[in-house]
Structure 1
Amino acid sequence: MAEKLKQSTFNQSSEEKTRLRQAILLISSLISLSHSIKVFAAKWQSIRIKLEELFSNLTAVENCESTDNFSLSITLESISSTLNSCDELAKRCLELSYSGKLLMQSDLDIVSAKLDNHVKSISDIYAMGLLTQSNAIVVSRPSVSASKDDIKFYMDDLLSRLKIGSSDMKKQALIAFNEVILEDGRYVKTALEVYSFINLFVSFLDLKDVEIQEEAAKSVCLIAGFECYKSVLVIAGVIAPLIRVLETGSELSKEFAARCLMKVTENSDNAWSVSAHGGVTALLKICGNNDCNNDELVCLAFGVLKNLVGVEEIKRFIVEEGAITEFIKLVNSKDEVIQISSIDLLQTMAYEDESIRKTIIQQGGIRAFVRILDPKSSFSTKTREVALKGIMSIYLSSMNALNLLINYGFMDHILYFLRYGHVSVQELALKAAFWLCGTSQEAKKAMGDAGFMPVLVKFIDSKSFEIRELAAETLSSLVMLPKNRKKFVQNDQNVGLVMQMLDQGEVSGNKKLFLSILMSLTSSNSARKQIVNSGYLKNIEKLAEEEVKDAKKIVRKLSSNRFSNIFSGLWHS
């Protein structure tokens, strides 16, 4: 397909058609020849890019009708003259037959500048309406098995339409581009070999034509999905127009712009560029806009901000703008995705930052987070999970935070879900209970008083290893307090169940936790009696015989003083 020449449809003289065809062929020859030139490589690379752009424009002209032959004829005559000069310079550089480097550099600069003017002239002619593409031949999309040349031919045709086509043709070309790069990554690679493509997409972002802007925003967003091409977009200056789209574009354009910014800011080096062009303010405005009905856009804005707060100075600016208060308000949003996004961002900002943790607490963050855990509320398991992670990440072991959590009913909510929640929520509550008992001695005492231990005991024979482990770890931590041990042994079944879990078939990782619980209990006389009378003493004896360290320690404790006769001298180690 690439070898087939497009058929001319514009009404010109045979001489002009021939001149146009000769120019196109000469450009093609010059592009190929330029790859063989070893001297002045940078200058020839620049010239080659301009030749490719001119080639694209002239092939597009072949598919046009001209309403003013004179303007086009003059332009073609000038282009032919420049191309002949360029051809002569190319041959001299290839043969190393030039008289001086400085003179050749000057000649190459002159040709390069002329090529720039020619590209602009063709665009101006079209802009004045002297060329129309009403009868243009539309190149069909290549098949899946298309060759590299076929793909390049197709992309050259799209490029020419993007450059000098009508608004409708530009839109259709953008749609075609977006469709084809989703199907085959080779088209992206081919497009980006021509620098003009990216420049056009970036320039289209500032157009007032809504449909073109939306498709251009989609184009750069799709290109940003290819990791190796993100830097190309940034170098082409995509960030500033993307932010302008966020400020004034259509809702769909804003979505694509935010999505693209989220992708490029995964590299923190680009965060500064977003900030320098006012991006942070634009994003905060979207997040705090109560009249915005586009939840998807708000979530995308949160996603970009999450990438940006990795830069300390940007994070401080966000705090100074009073954004934390706004984010906490959004925790109470009716939209689940916005809730989750705001909690996630607050959690990210508070990571290893004590001052932000305090600010979140002072601004009512605890109440907002705990409210989500209220069993009477209708929040999803996913939202509750994110809220719990946020609490565990932000509030840590702060005594003030612990008191607030208790005052707002955090422990009651957790206990409720342990008792009555669905399996997935119960596991979530177990994680929270384990975290809570590790925050402080006061938390352990409060949990013991609240009645966590009898509920946790029920989970230690769960079919799930993870649940058994979480329950056992939490119990092991709680019974370290003497007051909690007394409560635990008040029910004979508690000790018996722990002893029973030491059966030989039990997973060794959990055995260690159960032994840890029993080790703590042996400091209590009543607990030691219950261990001996449980009927499962043989389980500890077997483990001790197997040289399990904690089991041996428990046996020694039970063998001392008035319990020594129980073993009848069977244990002497």
Structure 2
Amino acid sequence: MGEEENPSSSASTEKQQLKQAIMQISSLISVSHSIKVFTAKWQSARIKLEELISHLAAIENCELNGRNPSLSAAVAEILATLANCGDLARRCSEFSYSGKLLMQSDLDMLSAKLDFHIGSLRGIYAAGLLEQSHALVVSRPCFTSASKDDVRFYLNDVFSRLKIGRKREALIAFNEVAREDERYIKIGVAIDGFVNLIVNFLDSHDREVQEVAAEAVSSIAGFPPGKAVLLSAGAIAPLIRVVEGGSKLSKEFSARCLMKMTENSDNVWAVSAHGGVPALLKICVGAGDSGTELLCLVCGVLKNLSAVEEIKRFMVEDGAVEGLITLAESRGDEAQISALDLLHTIAHRDESIREAIITHGGIQMLVGIMDPASAVSTKTREVAFRCITTICLSSETSCLTLGFADHILHFLRFGEASVQELALKASFWLCGASDCAKQVMGEAGFMDVLVKFLDSKSFDIREIAGETLSNMLLLPKNRKRFVQNDQNIVVLMQMLDPEQGNNKHLLSILVSLSRSNSARKKMLSSGYLKNIEKLAEDDAKEIVRKLSSSRFRNVFNVFWRS
């Protein structure tokens, strides 16, 4: 029986072979820079030699317990290839090769062998044939005192771990430092091949690796240079694949990355070219089990994509309108807001899309959200109202039929301050839509409520209420109805303040009312005529002229002297 081989001796031999290979590669990289022929092929070989030395250096730091036949065979083959590489480098340096075509062929074969060795080392590590528990790992630099060189050194170590198959561990390390200090992202982007390698892991069958890779590319996309590098690394296609079939977390990170990347309109077409539009629409249209966060992010990506007219048309043809209406009706506040915001964006300045939204029940959905009985947030109602003002430019009758005016009036009377302001804006929009809308609002009781807002501390509230009421009073029936409330004229006259410059909206309303005989009588009898007299505005002079004309002159003079 032969003598049993000593494990410690085998490990020592493997260490020596690794050192020998590392030294030879280092020497070859140095020599390759001085070669003046076939420079492109030697540059390609040099990049592969640099990757190979990173693998070998990382493996050298692993614990080699006993003989490892796979590793020994791989290193032996590498040494043979390095010897051949040295011979080719010598002949190219000395111009002693027999022919250009033959040397080109030899260099191509060398490149293929280097690719094979890199793949072999990755396979050895991925198969768990090396002991990782005692592997040397560079400590993370201190967040507050790390220099640029410290950051680069640490990232090079992360890069090495990525190359030899310690994907999850290395990606977690990168994500941790990226959250703390954006310098890690900026410097990592500048390391040749770093981003490309991370992008490759988006297609990993290991769910955890895919998730941390998606988080990494999302962080990288937060910086303009990162977007460009991700695009050149071919990140768009794998990101779309992850959004379609990844885990919940990896989908969210990938969608967030796509949203950041499509902020640049140049990248929009790349997403479309890789089938991103149907994939993203499928999530919105058939929301299914998609989480709220993912739905919001996907709507954000589609909003960026819709900036291109052709893509927006494709979205509509592929069912975006119906899907977004359904989404806005069936999900919670955050998803509703995202769906409504996207609807508003694609409908802006596009009559055909507005008609499509109306045809598919968009007005009913929007008015339903404005219903006080709907359990939605103020923010959701704000976005819904913005949609209404965009979509219903010529369909205010439909809004009125569905009870929109009643909803607004309810919020004017009973809503909190923020909701009341929203209701005021809605009142102003509806009032300006048509005389029919003015009449409906007058019959519903808007005018008496609007008077109360004319004395608000907020200048904006006073202005909106004043303009809305002034517009409503252009309608004779509304003037008649307004005057029927004896207190309305008195309150308006009382609010006039000669000491303040905030009378414009009040005077505008009184000018409209002064067209009514009944209103003029009540102005004369209000006891506040002197407030008008002291005002120098043209509107005040017009009111005085109307009050002092014809059969009102004598009555006016009596009040004026009192």
- Mapping of residues 53-68 of structure 1, within 5 Å: 53-64=51-62, 65=64, 67=69, 68=71
Work out whether 1:329 is the aligned partner of 2:332: no
- Mapping of residues 106-505 of structure 1, within 5 Å: 114=110, 117-128=113-124, 132-134=130-132, 135-144=134-143, 145-165=145-165, 169-396=166-393, 398=394, 401-505=395-499
Distance 1:58 1:519 in 2: 90
Quick check: 2:61–2:136 contact (8 Å CA) kept in 1? yes
Matched to 1:560, the amino acid is S
1:5 is aligned to none
| SS of residue matched to 2:17 | helix
Quick check: 1:198–1:236 contact (8 Å CA) kept in 2? yes
Which one of 507, 511, 514 corresponds to residue 515 of structure 1?
Answer: 507
Question: Alpha-carbon deviation of 1:107?
Answer: 8.3
1:76 is aligned to 79
Question: Alpha-carbon deviation of 1:60?
Answer: 1.7
- More divergent stretch after superposition (214-223 vs 10-19): 10-19
Question: Alpha-carbon deviation of 1:444?
Answer: 1.2
The verdict on how the C-alpha distance between 1:139 and 1:30 changes in structure 2, with shifts beyond 3 A counting, is farther
Quick check: 1:123–1:164 contact (8 Å CA) kept in 2? no
Question: Alpha-carbon deviation of 1:172?
Answer: 0.8
Question: Alpha-carbon deviation of 1:320?
Answer: 1.6
| SS of residue matched to 2:13 | coil
Normalising by structure 2, we get a TM-score of 0.86
1:22 is aligned to 23
Quick check: 1:258–1:297 contact (8 Å CA) kept in 2? yes
Distance 1:552 1:45 in 2: 88
The verdict on how the C-alpha distance between 1:155 and 1:358 changes in structure 2, with shifts beyond 3 A counting, is same
1:558 is aligned to 547
Distance 2:289 2:150 in 1: 45
Quick check: 2:185–2:219 contact (8 Å CA) kept in 1? no
Question: Alpha-carbon deviation of 1:362?
Answer: 1.1
Quick check: 1:155–1:187 contact (8 Å CA) kept in 2? yes
- More divergent stretch after superposition (557-566 vs 324-333): 557-566
Question: Alpha-carbon deviation of 1:353?
Answer: 0.5
The verdict on how the C-alpha distance between 1:536 and 1:56 changes in structure 2, with shifts beyond 3 A counting, is farther
| SS of residue matched to 1:205 | helix
Matched to 2:374, the amino acid is S
Quick check: 1:370–1:405 contact (8 Å CA) kept in 2? yes
Matched to 2:550, the amino acid is N
What percentage of aligned pairs have identical amino acids? 55
Matched to 2:307, the amino acid is G
Question: Alpha-carbon deviation of 1:361?
Answer: 0.8
- More divergent stretch after superposition (477-486 vs 76-85): 76-85
Matched to 1:542, the amino acid is K
Quick check: 1:51–1:115 contact (8 Å CA) kept in 2? no
Matched to 1:136, the amino acid is A
Distance 1:555 1:321 in 2: 63
Distance 1:161 1:254 in 2: 25
Question: Alpha-carbon deviation of 1:110?
Answer: 7.7
Quick check: 1:50–1:112 contact (8 Å CA) kept in 2? no
Quick check: 2:470–2:508 contact (8 Å CA) kept in 1? yes
Deviation per residue, 1:124-154 (Å, 9 max, x gap): 2341459625242111111222233322221
Question: Alpha-carbon deviation of 1:260?
Answer: 0.9
Quick check: 2:48–2:114 contact (8 Å CA) kept in 1? no
Which one of 499, 523, 529 corresponds to residue 521 of structure 2?
Answer: 529
Matched to 1:518, the amino acid is L
Quick check: 2:18–2:75 contact (8 Å CA) kept in 1? no
The verdict on how the C-alpha distance between 1:557 and 1:346 changes in structure 2, with shifts beyond 3 A counting, is same
The verdict on how the C-alpha distance between 1:17 and 1:411 changes in structure 2, with shifts beyond 3 A counting, is closer
Q: Aligned pair count?
A: 540
- More divergent stretch after superposition (402-411 vs 372-381): 372-381
Quick check: 1:56–1:156 contact (8 Å CA) kept in 2? no
| SS of residue matched to 1:132 | coil
Distance 2:112 2:488 in 1: 86
Quick check: 2:81–2:110 contact (8 Å CA) kept in 1? no
Distance 1:27 1:539 in 2: 97
The verdict on how the C-alpha distance between 1:260 and 1:561 changes in structure 2, with shifts beyond 3 A counting, is same
Question: Alpha-carbon deviation of 1:436?
Answer: 0.5
Cα RMSD over matched residues? 3.4
The verdict on how the C-alpha distance between 1:524 and 1:77 changes in structure 2, with shifts beyond 3 A counting, is same
Normalising by structure 1, we get a TM-score of 0.85
The verdict on how the C-alpha distance between 1:532 and 1:11 changes in structure 2, with shifts beyond 3 A counting, is farther
1:6 is aligned to none
Deviation per residue, 1:3-59 (Å, 9 max, x gap): xxxxxx96436753542442465478679x79xx99999889767755543443332
| SS of residue matched to 2:139 | coil
- Any stretches of 5+ residues in structure 1 without a counterpart? 1-8
Question: Alpha-carbon deviation of 1:122?
Answer: 2.8
- More divergent stretch after superposition (401-410 vs 522-531): 522-531
- More divergent stretch after superposition (348-357 vs 335-344): 335-344
Distance 1:188 1:142 in 2: 15
Question: Alpha-carbon deviation of 1:179?
Answer: 0.7
Distance 2:196 2:364 in 1: 49
Distance 1:109 1:255 in 2: 46
- Any stretches of 5+ residues in structure 2 without a counterpart? 1-9
Deviation per residue, 1:386-437 (Å, 9 max, x gap): 21121112112x1xx2221111111111111111222222111111101101
Deviation per residue, 1:446-488 (Å, 9 max, x gap): 2112211011111111222222221111111111112211112
The verdict on how the C-alpha distance between 1:492 and 1:49 changes in structure 2, with shifts beyond 3 A counting, is farther
| SS of residue matched to 2:205 | coil
| SS of residue matched to 1:230 | helix
